[in-house]
Structure 1
Amino acid sequence: MEPIFYVLGAMKPEEKVKFIHHSFQNRTVSMRSFTSI
C-alpha cells in the first residue's frame, strides 16, 4: 500500500481528489492496479 501514498504525495490537490474519487468508484479495479504497481 505504501507506493500509493508516495504517488498521492506527488500529486496536485485537485488531481488527488479526482484520483481518490475515481478509486472509490472503481474500488475492485483500483485495488488490482495498486497491487500490480
Structure 2
Amino acid sequence: MQSKRDFKRQWILFSAKTLQCRIASLVCFCNISFVT
C-alpha cells in the first residue's frame, strides 16, 4: 500500500514536469512563429 501511494506521488510529479515542459515548448513555438 505504501509503495502504491509513493508511485502515485511520483506519477503526479512526473506528469507535472512533463506538463511544464509541454507548456514551455508550446510557448517557445508560439514565440518563434510569432516573430517570423
- Pairwise TM-score range, normalised by the shorter structure: 0.3 to 0.5
Larger radius of gyration: 2
TM-score norm. by structure 1 comes to 0.42
